[in-house]
């Protein structure tokens, strides 16, 4: 660990105060939430922020609550572990809980926050596709200002979001969904635990009584500079009864839509193929008669 | 207190100190006045060092000294060149850097921060040179040379005396083994199989990175606390480098946080001593995980194997060429080449052989010993090809192995007689464990559809191996019987997780009839303990165990002498049982006899034991290895044919342990080795781009997680006692690892019909092979 200058740490107790600190102190600062990315960047990668603004003293940023309209608000400091075990989320959006359970180790999940994870905009973030499949929105606060944008639009590149330096991601909002909404998240990574996703596929869909898909979202992680929706694949599924063939076609389309890279873990071509297979499987699993939320342990023993 | 038993499981003696986190490891230790050392490393795979300027670094507050080539070249007291086999290494680079991460300079400072800052301020001018980055490039005629010339030591390992570098090439060693008439052998063959197998460089991935604390007294006396598996080799090397007698070098080894071969021979010790000497202060150097990747790796290999087989499955001829990527420095590469060569015929009788095994210099980080070295390379090829042969001849892979496998008393490729080789017992056990009989029903149809889902295919595979232990070698032990009949054991065996402390205490306890609680195994300090060559090669139970047994017997002999003299009892009337001395009329305990001998409560009886093995054993028989390890492994896998993903359902491993002194410890060793093997088989690979490591960290270098373990690992100990081992015991540490990769590859072939010849077996490779197979018309 290398740090020649003492590090200045601010601990504001309100969002406004935090924004003011950033304005006054100027560029080169960094927010601190769970610290699972920041501390590693400082200790292992030699990156030194000029100052740090610790958000953990700000009350009410770590709540999971339901609004009267049925939307769900996840405070930015909600930990991955809280999302993983929240009865509310497990009941309504189990695949979101599962995507959080896929992150790192249990120790990491107790520290890492959903806001920090989204604000760091890693293309392979596990919860991003699940949230995008749920049409989640990002609530961005500045000094005396607030705006809400679709999470899909929130990411602009690897490590980049549309937030201004003096803005803070304060919550993620999942709009109301019909009770019939089902979903699935498949993290494809050859190592079972504590790996980065090679491919992440999240699917959320709702069907009518005749099994026709009336609503569908397919979101992909780790196969483009930002987490993305596979809109052409969605179009194939919409208003169809989800057969093996339709799912296969949609998978093929999703594979065409994404733009993976080759790296030390896998080739771009293989990632594309795995988007194809896993999109198909996620769709079929979500639509399956036997669909029910599964625990992580069951998932490990299940073959997709 | 219970009497010590052998063959009965005991909990390891160090468990409490380790599970409570109280065990001291080197990185946690400090000595008074200690400073911190950091190493500047080469950014290039191959470059000439034109100029080094440390003046700015020396101005950093807190910096005590900067070590560069000038210090080692112009100091009469330092021999700049060292190495366990060839003297091709220097403490810091002298003329050239030969791999990314090669040490160029080092800094001692009062704080780690100051040392790191100073490292960044050392100006180095390099002239980049073209590099040889794989064995293929390195072996081309006219290839760039990693070493223009190589110094040989005046004396070295006896078993490697005949191995020399080939001048003017990058061949570090060429080991040849010829047997029978190879041309005649192939002429008599009905089928000839020719395949090329590869495996990549990997990491040992011990939890504890290399570290060292060194202190040099004004008179030249050197003390080092080292993370080493062979303190006495480090002592010799340091004595040679710093030109002092070995008595002036003291090497202390705390508990080691894993070794697996990655901590044999000098690593960070020479540079730490040089720093301590220059700074006049004790210095601690602790390597980062990334630095470990630059320090030592497992040999990558390319193995071309051609085998002639008769219609009935009899192996008749084999030609094999093994190219091992030794990296920039020989380290122990020559012995890796030799062991790969010896085992290229596998555990099979093959009358006609032509084996050429090369260790080859390249501009990559040095490769050295890795748990079962040489054999884990050759066995990947041998055992994969066995199944290729079995499939082609429509034979059962188990039967093919048993038909050709060694029996008791067979002649090995070195023409020596094999004794205590439970190869077929091992094979039968693992086959039974994974339900092999249900597989063989109608060879073709052995693929079992997985639980109703058509994309999942099940398969079973097995593999076996034979390997040697380092021979000749030496282990000496001293035991002290204290006045209260408690016992202290002094050995140079390093406890690195394998459980040696426990088993050595068991052996002495059993021999003397003492309870384990009264026995203390001392830590390793070369000033105190007698010589031991190395804690590696799965040799400690067999060699040091025997030495401890002999030392205990020496104490019994002395007790007997005392009793005969002091009590006037004839020799044949004195017997020992359960920690008592039985006389015709009465029995005495040890403390009483000690009292009698010394006339008061005090005194010590010192027992000594020496084991020395040579290439001729005590019965006059040729013995390239003091004993031979045999083992087998079997895997049951599920393969997802749409993604290529593998799920390892069950892994069974059987090793001929001679005698399981501590069965629990044996099973843990077997399981641990199997788990390491699973990583090597399915996950691990150091990736390079133009000589740069692109995954020198444990995020991108993927080790298996707990979730990747099979739900069942079945470790089986086969007991065919060896006449020279303590209570018949042999070594076990490495053997179980070796069959893992081929067993899994063979199971994958059984499941989906594709043959992966390049490790690691990643999902992507299976996927591509399946795609290729789909495109190919069925035969």
**Contact between chains at B643 and A278 (C-beta distance less than 8 A):** yes
Write down the pLDDT at residue B622: 85
DSSP H or E run through B575: strand B575-577
Q: A162 and A71 in one domain?
A: yes
**Contact between chains at B704 and A191 (C-beta distance less than 8 A):** yes
Find the CB nearest A267 among B697, B708, B764: B764
**Contact between chains at A4 and B117 (C-beta distance less than 8 A):** yes
- Per-domain residue ranges of chain B: 15-22+473-613, 31-129+205-295, 137-203+297-377, 420-461+629-775
**Contact between chains at A265 and B700 (C-beta distance less than 8 A):** yes
B198 at the A interface (CB within 8 A)? no
| Mean pLDDT of chain B, nearest integer | 94
**Which residues of chain A make contact with B764, given a CB cutoff of 8 A?**
266-267, 270
Decide if A283 contacts A234 (C-beta within 8 A).
Answer: no
B79: left (phi over 0), alpha (psi -120 to 50) or beta: beta
Write down the pLDDT at residue B720: 94
Fold for the domain defined by B15-22+473-613: Aldehyde Oxidoreductase; domain 4 (3.30.365)
Q: Considering A174, A205, A226, which residue would you say is the last residue of a domain?
A: A174
B656 at the A interface (CB within 8 A)? no
Write down the pLDDT at residue A301: 47
C-alpha distances out from residue B322 to B308, B338, B339, Å: 18, 10, 11
Residue A80 lies in a domain: yes
**Contact between chains at B638 and A303 (C-beta distance less than 8 A):** yes
Residue A298 lies in a domain: no
| CATH code: domain of residue A72 | 3.30.465.10
Q: What is the pLDDT of residues A37-69, one digit of tens each?
A: 998 888 877 788 999 999 999 988 989 999 999
Decide if B328 contacts B82 (C-beta within 8 A).
Answer: no
DSSP β-bridge partners for residue B716: B654
CA distance A298 to B731: 39
Most B CBs within 10 Å: which of A42, A43, A48, A264, as the mutation test of the B interface?
Answer: A264
Q: What is the pLDDT of residues B686-730, one digit of tens each?
A: 999 999 999 999 989 999 998 899 999 999 999 999 999 999 999
Decide if A81 contacts A72 (C-beta within 8 A).
Answer: no
Domain tally for chain A?
3
Query: Is the interface score ipTM higher than 0.85?
Result: yes
Q: What is the pLDDT of residues A235-284, one digit of tens each?
A: 999 999 999 999 999 999 999 999 999 998 899 999 999 999 999 999 99
Q: Is B477 helix (H, G, I), strand (E, B) or coil?
A: strand
Q: Is B741 helix (H, G, I), strand (E, B) or coil?
A: helix
Instruction: Measure in Å the smallest separation between the Cα of B763 and chain A Cα atoms.
Output: 7
Residue A155 lies in a domain: yes
Smallest CA-to-CA distance from B140 within B168, B163, B173 is with B168
Q: A105 and A31 in one domain?
A: no
pLDDT by 10-residue block (mean), chain B, 779 residues: 90 94 94 97 98 97 97 94 94 97 98 96 98 97 95 78 88 96 98 98 97 95 98 97 97 97 97 98 97 98 98 98 98 95 96 98 98 96 98 97 96 90 96 88 42 75 96 96 97 97 97 96 97 96 98 97 94 93 93 95 97 85 90 96 94 97 97 97 96 94 92 96 95 96 97 96 96 79
**Contact between chains at B643 and A266 (C-beta distance less than 8 A):** no
Write down the pLDDT at residue B776: 77
Q: A82 and A45 in one domain?
A: no
| CATH code: domain of residue A233 | 3.30.390.50
Residue A2 lies in a domain: no
Residue A303 lies in a domain: no
Instruction: Measure in Å the smallest separation between the Cα of A82 and chain B Cα atoms.
Output: 22
Cβ of B621: how many Cβ atoms within 10 Å? Answer: 11
Residue B442: partners with Cβ closer than 8 Å, 6 or more residues away: none
Q: Considering A115, A146, A174, which residue would you say is the last residue of a domain?
A: A174
Residue A300 lies in a domain: no
Write down the pLDDT at residue A297: 46
Which CATH number, 1.10.1060.10, 1.10.3720.10, 3.20.80.10, 3.30.365.10, labels domain B137-203+297-377? 3.30.365.10
Decide if B234 contacts B253 (C-beta within 8 A).
Answer: no
Which CATH number, 1.20.200.10, 3.40.50.150, 3.30.365.10, 3.90.1150.10, labels domain B420-461+629-775? 3.30.365.10
Residue B521, token pair as written in the block: 């195994």
Residue B778, token pair as written in the block: 């069925």
Q: A26 and A114 in one domain?
A: no
Cβ of B144: how many Cβ atoms within 10 Å? Answer: 14
Q: Please give the residue of chain A at the shortest CA–CA distance from B679.
A: A191
| CATH code: domain of residue A14 | 3.30.43
**Contact between chains at B683 and A191 (C-beta distance less than 8 A):** yes
Q: A261 and A221 in one domain?
A: yes
Q: Please give the residue of chain A at the shortest CA–CA distance from B117.
A: A2
Smallest CA-to-CA distance from B170 within B347, B363, B453 is with B363
Find the CB nearest B643 among A3, A194, A277: A277
Q: What is the pLDDT of residues B617-657, one digit of tens each?
A: 777 888 889 999 999 999 999 999 999 999 999 999 999 99
Smallest CA-to-CA distance from B678 within B735, B731, B743 is with B743
A193 at the B interface (CB within 8 A)? yes
Q: A147 and A79 in one domain?
A: yes
Residue B496, token pair as written in the block: 């690195």
Q: A85 and A48 in one domain?
A: no
Q: Is A10 helix (H, G, I), strand (E, B) or coil?
A: strand
CA distance B677 to B675: 5
Torsion angle of C-alpha atoms A66, A72, A73, A77, degrees rounded to 10 = 110
**Which residues of chain B make contact with A270, given a CB cutoff of 8 A?**
764, 767-768
Range of the structural domain that residue A277 is part of: 182-288
Instruction: Measure in Å the smallest separation between the Cα of B684 and chain A Cα atoms.
Output: 11
Residue A77 lies in a domain: yes
Q: Is B267 helix (H, G, I), strand (E, B) or coil?
A: coil
**Which residues of chain A make contact with B643, given a CB cutoff of 8 A?**
188, 274, 277-278, 304
Write down the pLDDT at residue B158: 75
Most A CBs within 10 Å: which of B112, B642, B774, as the mutation test of the A interface?
Answer: B642
Total residues belonging to chain A:
304
Write down the pLDDT at residue B442: 42
Instruction: Measure in Å the smallest separation between the Cα of A274 and chain B Cα atoms.
Output: 7
Q: How confident is the prediction along chain A (304 residues), in pLDDT tens digits per residue?
A: 455 567 899 999 999 999 999 999 999 999 999 999 998 888 877 788 999 999 999 988 989 999 999 999 999 999 999 999 999 999 999 999 999 999 998 999 999 999 999 999 999 999 999 999 999 999 999 999 999 999 999 999 999 999 999 999 999 999 999 999 999 999 999 888 888 999 999 999 999 999 999 999 999 999 999 999 999 999 999 999 999 999 999 999 999 999 999 998 899 999 999 999 999 999 999 998 776 655 544 554 443 3
Domains B31-129+205-295 and B137-203+297-377 share a fold: no
Fold for the domain defined by B31-129+205-295: Aldehyde Oxidoreductase; domain 3 (3.90.1170)
A63 at the B interface (CB within 8 A)? no
Residue A294 lies in a domain: no
């Amino acid at each position: 660990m290398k740090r020649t200058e003492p590090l200045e740490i601010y601990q504001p107790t309100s969002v406004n105060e935090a924004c003011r600190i950033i304005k006054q102190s100027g560029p080169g600062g960094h927010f601190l939430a769970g610290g699972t990315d920041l501390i590693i960047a400082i200790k292992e990668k030699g990156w030194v922020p000029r100052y740090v603004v610790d958000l953990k003293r700000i009350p009410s940023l770590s709540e999971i609550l339901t609004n009267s309209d049925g939307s769900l608000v996840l405070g930015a400091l909600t930990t991955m572990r809280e999302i993983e075990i929240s009865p509310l989320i497990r009941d309504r959006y189990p695949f979101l809980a599962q995507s959080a359970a896929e992150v790192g180790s249990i120790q990491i999940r107790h520290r890492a926050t959903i806001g920090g994870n989204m604000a760091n905009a890693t293309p392979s973030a596990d919860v991003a596709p699940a949230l995008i499949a749920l049409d989640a929105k990002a609530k961005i606060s500045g000094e005396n200002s607030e705006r809400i944008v679709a999470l899909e639009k929130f990411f602009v590149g690897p490590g980049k979001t549309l937030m201004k330096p003096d803005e803070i991601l304060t919550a993620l909002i999942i709009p109301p969904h019909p009770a019939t909404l089902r979903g699935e998240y498949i993290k494809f990574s050859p190592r079972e635990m504590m790996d980065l996703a090679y491919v992440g596929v999240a699917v959320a869909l709702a069907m009518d009584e005749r099994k026709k898909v009336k609503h569908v979202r397919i979101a992909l992680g780790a196969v483009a500079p930002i987490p993305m929706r596979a809109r052409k694949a969605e179009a194939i599924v919409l208003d169809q009864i989800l057969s093996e063939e339709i799912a296969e076609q949609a998978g093929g389309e999703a594979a065409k839509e994404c733009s993976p890279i080759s790296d030390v873990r896998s080739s771009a071509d293989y990632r594309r193929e795995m988007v194809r297979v896993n999109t198909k499987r996620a769709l079929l699993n979500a639509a399956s008669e036997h669909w029910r939320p599964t625990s992580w342990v069951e998932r490990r023993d299940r073959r997709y | 207190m219970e009497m010590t038993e052998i063959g009965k499981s005991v909990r390891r003696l160090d468990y409490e100190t380790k599970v409570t986190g109280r065990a001291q490891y080197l990185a946690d230790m400090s000595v008074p006045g200690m400073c911190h050392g950091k190493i500047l490393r080469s950014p290039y795979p191959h470059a000439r060092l034109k100029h080094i300027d440390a003046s700015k670094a020396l101005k950093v507050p807190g910096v005590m000294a900067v070590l560069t080539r000038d210090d080692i070249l112009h100091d009469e007291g330092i021999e700049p060149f060292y190495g366990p086999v060839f003297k091709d290494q220097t403490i810091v680079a002298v003329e050239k850097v030969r791999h990314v991460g090669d040490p160029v300079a080092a800094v001692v400072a009062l704080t780690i921060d100051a040392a790191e800052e100073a490292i960044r301020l050392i100006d180095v001018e390099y002239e980049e040179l073209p590099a040889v980055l794989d064995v293929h490039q390195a072996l081309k005629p006219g290839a760039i040379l990693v070493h223009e010339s190589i110094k040989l030591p005046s004396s070295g390992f006896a078993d490697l005396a005949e191995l020399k570098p080939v001048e003017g090439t990058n061949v570090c060693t060429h080991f040849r083994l010829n047997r029978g008439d190879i041309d005649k052998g192939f002429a008599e063959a009905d089928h000839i199989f020719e395949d090329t197998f590869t495996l990549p460089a990997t990491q040992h991935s011990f939890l504890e990175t290399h570290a060292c604390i060194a202190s040099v007294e004004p008179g030249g006396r050197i003390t080092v606390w080292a993370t080493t598996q062979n303190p006495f080799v480090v002592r010799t090397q340091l004595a040679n480098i710093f030109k002092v007698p070995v008595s002036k070098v003291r090497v202390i080894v705390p508990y080691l946080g894993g070794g697996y071969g990655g901590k044999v021979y000098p690593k960070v010790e020479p540079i730490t001593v040089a720093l301590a000497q220059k700074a006049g202060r004790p210095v601690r150097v602790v390597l980062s995980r990334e630095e470990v990747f630059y320090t030592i790796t497992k040999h990558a290999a390319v193995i071309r194997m051609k085998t002639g087989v008769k219609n009935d499955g009899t192996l008749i001829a084999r030609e094999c060429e093994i190219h091992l990527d030794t990296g920039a420095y020989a380290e122990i590469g020559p012995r890796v080449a030799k062991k790969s060569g010896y085992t290229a015929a596998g555990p099979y009788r093959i009358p006609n052989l032509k084996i050429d095994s090369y260790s080859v210099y390249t501009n990559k980080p040095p490769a050295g010993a890795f748990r079962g070295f040489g054999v884990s390379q050759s066995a990947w090829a041998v055992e994969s090809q066995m199944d290729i042969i079995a499939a082609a001849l429509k034979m059962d892979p188990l039967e093919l192995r048993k038909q050709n496998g060694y029996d008791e008393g067979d002649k090995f490729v070195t023409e020596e007689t094999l004794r205590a080789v439970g190869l077929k017992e091992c094979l039968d056990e693992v086959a039974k464990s994974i339900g092999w009989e249900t597989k063989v029903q109608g060879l073709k149809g052995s693929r079992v559809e997985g639980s109703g889902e058509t994309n999942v295919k099940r398969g079973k595979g097995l593999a076996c191996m034979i390997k040697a232990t380092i021979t000749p070698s030496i282990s000496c032990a001293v035991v002290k019987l204290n006045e209260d009949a408690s016992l202290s054991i002094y050995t140079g065996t390093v406890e690195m997780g394998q459980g040696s402390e426990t088993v050595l205490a068991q052996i002495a306890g059993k021999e003397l009839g003492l309870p384990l609680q009264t026995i203390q195994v001392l830590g390793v300090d070369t000033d105190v303990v007698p010589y031991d060559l190395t804690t590696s090669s799965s040799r400690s139970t067999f060699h040091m165990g025997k030495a401890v047994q002999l030392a205990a017997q020496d104490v019994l002999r002395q007790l007997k002498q005392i009793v005969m003299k002091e009590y006037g009892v004839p020799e044949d009337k004195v017997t020992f049982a359960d920690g008592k001395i039985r006389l015709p009329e009465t029995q005495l305990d040890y403390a009483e006899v000690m009292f009698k001998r010394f006339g008061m409560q005090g005194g010590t009886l010192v027992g000594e034991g020496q084991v020395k093995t040579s290439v001729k054993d005590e019965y006059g028989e040729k013995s390239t290895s003091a004993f031979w390890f045999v083992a087998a492994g079997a895997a049951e896998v599920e393969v997802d044919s749409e993604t290529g993903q593998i799920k390892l359902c069950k892994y069974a491993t059987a090793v001929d342990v001679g005698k399981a002194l501590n069965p629990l410890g044996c099973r843990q060793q077997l399981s641990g080795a199997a788990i390491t093997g699973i990583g090597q088989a399915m996950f691990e690979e150091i990736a390079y781009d133009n000589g740069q490591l692109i995954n020198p960290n444990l995020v991108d270098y993927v080790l298996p997680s707990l979730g990747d373990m099979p739900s069942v690992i079945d470790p089986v100990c086969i007991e065919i006692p060896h006449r020279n081992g303590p209570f018949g015991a042999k070594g076990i540490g490495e053997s179980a690892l070796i069959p893992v990769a081929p067993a899994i590859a063979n199971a994958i072939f059984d499941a989906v019909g594709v043959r992966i010849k390049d490790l690691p077996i990643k999902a992507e490779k299976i996927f591509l092979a399946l795609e290729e197979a789909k495109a190919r018309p069925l035969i």
